[in-house]
Structure 1
Amino acid sequence: MVTGDASYIKKMNRSLIIKHILQEGMISRAELSKATALTRATISAQVSDLLDEELVIEKNMEYNLVGRKPIMLSIHAEAGYALGIDLEFGRVSFAVANLQGSIVATDTIPLETTLYEDILNLLLTSIRSYLERYASCRYGIVGIVIGIHGLVSTEEVIHYIPSFDWHDVTLKTELEKALGVVVHLENNANLSAFAERTFFHHETDNLLCVTLYSGIGLGMMINHAFFRGQDGFAGEIGHMILVPDGHTCNCGNKGCWEKYASEASVFQQLSADKHGTPVTYEQIHLWLKEGDTEVHEAMKTYIYYLSIGLNNIINIYNPEVIVLDSELLRLYQNPLDEIRQHMHSRISHYREMKISATGKQSCVLGACALAIQKFLQVPTLNLRRG
């Protein structure tokens, strides 16, 4: 039994109430009391505080039966906004979400540099603009989370970003000092996994999300929390050696999984096969529809090596749900069937394998969701995709 002083119990009850209001979208006080097992008096007192703080609003529902119309409670979506940022090679993506998790604004800025000072200044300028834009609402920007395509320590120091060649940079500290607000950094694959868990897989305790773009990352939600490892560097699954003495990788090893099963490896192969013809997702989709033999072979090779790595991951973690985040798989016909044909092990166990429906937006979506969770101080966050 959990014990504690009155303020602690009140905080726990508040968190539980907010969690259920978010999860249901709209809920009455009576339903809230039943769902949380809290007394109606406790519900009434807590809701009164939340109404005063403008975090919750009341709505009258249409009601055709005899008796009082039920008054429904919902989170005040426009009371504040979360800012999610995806910092990746070649571009910075921004998304703003309201407190119910609906995206209300997006923007993408091309990056023509990898110099730390230049990107720091770009982030400062952009974040200041968002802080000013949403300053008039009750809570303004409630949180800022940045997705990093590289190693982020448990202290949120960027240890290494291969594509930028950044080593041990204190981006969080410098942003916070200049802006006067709290900024959080998180690995991009973790944020993608958080988006999948928050918006689509509410009942899932153990979820893995494999991101397959410029490299391969693994976001891990274990018992509703990130699994980061000792120093925060867990999930660099793309550097699992798949082919001994294979292709040289930037990490220093040879034969890493991402040299064979990332989308970058497919683009590199097709660029060589097509002798300089521009290779884009749109062009690959067209080639697939036309039955281009080289492209179909490249995709089959991609799926073959992808399947080997997935088999290893499943045997290590035994996940409930595994989500594959790949635009190429979304363009290909029946990719999951083909993946399963390569997985023959009798000891590989998982409940569900899916292809992400959010695509490259998953990182900023997860960043916004994490900012909302930290602001509302709820242990688990279940949102509806708006």
Structure 2
Amino acid sequence: MLTGDASLIKKMNRSLILSTIIEHKSISRAEIAKVTGLNKATISVQVSELLDHAFIVESQLEHKSLGRRPIMLSINEKAGFALGIDLDKTTITFTLADLDGCPVHTDVIDLPVSNYEVIFDILSQQIKVYHSKCEQTHYGLIGVVIGIHGIVDTNEIIYFVPQHGWKNKNLKKDLENELGIYIYIENNANLCSFAEKVYKHHHSNNLLSVSLYSGIGLGFMINGELLKGYHGYAGEIGHMIIVPNGVPCSCGNSGCWEQYASENSLTRRVCQDQQKLDFSFEDILTGLKEQEPTILKEMEHFIEYLAIGLNNLINLYNPEILVVNSELLRLYPNAAEELKAQLTSTISHYSELLVSEFGKKACIMGACALGIQKFLGVSELSLTL
């Protein structure tokens, strides 16, 4: 039985009311009572406080019928802004989003080196720029969430970033000491799954998102919560061995899934087939459009290996929604159908498999959404682009 004192109950009611307003975009007090089951007195007190703190705003609904026009409540989207950052191998992407989760500005900066101090300076300077841009709003820059393409522990310390060779970096503490702003550090695959849940699959409590870029990452939403494991290292599914004594991996093992089913692995194999070291991802897309036989054959192998790993995940977690995040598959006709055709086991069950509509924007949109959730203090967040 869940129990709590008056302050906890008040906090839970506030979270429920605010989540309901965000989900419905515009809703009256009476409708909030119907949706939440809370009494009118509780709603009146909570709404008054939310208005006083500029979290929400009132407006009157236009209608032609007789009688009093209902007063509608909605999130005060311009009261503050969240900054999402995707720290990738060769670029850093910065996206500023309002409290309704809509992007209002994006910058992409090329990374000249992997040196921690250099990248720290770039992050620090850019965050200061965004902080200055938001100063005129009620709450300013409400928080910064950085997506890391590597392993992040439960204390938000970066354990390892293979792309940059970083080990045991406390970027959160370093930036907070420098800037005096709340900083959150999260694994990029976790942010991808969070974006799918918040923006696309609001009512799914069991969602897996598999990202297939330089490696393979897995974000779990189990019972509506991110599943991170004991140390925070859960989701390194790219290092699941699918081919014994196969292609050597940088992790020290051989035959890891990401050596066969990541976009980087496909590019590497096509380069070997074409005997061209400079064969790019864009060249592969062109080859697919032109039905180039070698590339089509490699694409078949790519989907076969991808299906092997997905089958394992389905058997392990029995997800409701399984999202594959890949720019290549997003642009490849019938990708989801070809994957489903290879998932023929009678004991593998899932409700829906699809290719993410976000592509490489998933991480940064998840970062913005997480920043908003942390600031508003809500347990459930449903946004729409």
Query: Which bin holds the TM-score, normalised by the shorter protein?
Result: over 0.9
Match of 1:337 in 2: 337
Residue 175 of structure 1: SS of its match in structure 2?
Answer: helix
Q: How does 1:11-160 map to 2 (within 5 A)?
A: 11-160=11-160
Match of 2:208 in 1: 208
Letter of the 2:243 counterpart: V
Aligned-residue offset at 1:191: 0.1
Q: How does 1:1-386 map to 2 (within 5 A)?
A: 2-276=2-276, 278-385=278-385
Aligned-residue offset at 1:90: 0.4
- Normalised to the residue count of structure 1, the TM-score between the two structures is 0.97
Residue 250 of structure 2: SS of its match in structure 1?
Answer: coil
Is the CA contact (8 Å cut-off) linking 2:340 and 2:353 kept in structure 1?
Answer: no
In structure 2, what is the Cα distance between the partners aligned to 1:288 and 1:364? 28
Letter of the 1:96 counterpart: L
Residue 198 of structure 2: SS of its match in structure 1?
Answer: helix
Is the CA contact (8 Å cut-off) linking 1:193 and 1:209 kept in structure 2?
Answer: yes
Residue 203 of structure 1: SS of its match in structure 2?
Answer: coil
In structure 2, what is the Cα distance between the partners aligned to 1:114 and 1:46? 48
In structure 2, what is the Cα distance between the partners aligned to 1:141 and 1:29? 29
**What's the C-alpha RMSD, in Å, of the aligned pairs?**
1.2
In structure 2, what is the Cα distance between the partners aligned to 1:66 and 1:204? 40
Aligned-residue offset at 1:192: 0.1
Aligned-residue offset at 1:283: 2.9
Moved more, 98-107 or 269-278: 269-278
Residue 78 of structure 1: SS of its match in structure 2?
Answer: coil
**What is the aligned length?**
385
Moved more, 336-345 or 223-232: 336-345
In structure 2, what is the Cα distance between the partners aligned to 1:318 and 1:222? 10
Aligned-residue offset at 1:278: 4.5
Is the CA contact (8 Å cut-off) linking 1:63 and 1:70 kept in structure 2?
Answer: no
Cα shift readout 1:1-33 (whole Å, capped 9, x = no counterpart): 543332222211111100000010000011011
Letter of the 2:337 counterpart: D
In structure 1, what is the Cα distance between the partners aligned to 2:279 and 2:77? 41
In structure 1, what is the Cα distance between the partners aligned to 2:332 and 2:316? 27
Residue 381 of structure 1: SS of its match in structure 2?
Answer: coil
Is the CA contact (8 Å cut-off) linking 1:210 and 1:216 kept in structure 2?
Answer: yes
In structure 2, what is the Cα distance between the partners aligned to 1:137 and 1:279? 47
In structure 2, what is the Cα distance between the partners aligned to 1:138 and 1:274? 57
Is the CA contact (8 Å cut-off) linking 2:15 and 2:377 kept in structure 1?
Answer: yes
In structure 2, what is the Cα distance between the partners aligned to 1:5 and 1:341? 53
- Normalised to the residue count of structure 2, the TM-score between the two structures is 0.98
Letter of the 2:123 counterpart: L
Aligned-residue offset at 1:259: 0.4
Aligned-residue offset at 1:40: 1.3
In structure 1, what is the Cα distance between the partners aligned to 2:283 and 2:241? 31
Distance verdict in 2 for CA 1:315–1:268, change over 3 Å: same
Residue 235 of structure 2: SS of its match in structure 1?
Answer: coil
Aligned-residue offset at 1:279: 3.6
Residue 167 of structure 1: SS of its match in structure 2?
Answer: strand
Residue 360 of structure 1: SS of its match in structure 2?
Answer: helix
Residue 77 of structure 1: SS of its match in structure 2?
Answer: coil
Aligned-residue offset at 1:272: 2.5
Is the CA contact (8 Å cut-off) linking 2:267 and 2:284 kept in structure 1?
Answer: no
Letter of the 1:316 counterpart: L
Cα shift readout 1:213-255 (whole Å, capped 9, x = no counterpart): 0000000011111111110000000000111111111001111
Letter of the 1:214 counterpart: S
Q: Gaps (5+ residues) in structure 2?
A: none
In structure 2, what is the Cα distance between the partners aligned to 1:59 and 1:354? 38
Aligned-residue offset at 1:287: 1.6
Is the CA contact (8 Å cut-off) linking 2:80 and 2:141 kept in structure 1?
Answer: yes
Is the CA contact (8 Å cut-off) linking 1:213 and 1:264 kept in structure 2?
Answer: yes
In structure 1, what is the Cα distance between the partners aligned to 2:146 and 2:174? 13
Residue 345 of structure 1: SS of its match in structure 2?
Answer: coil
Aligned-residue offset at 1:281: 4.2
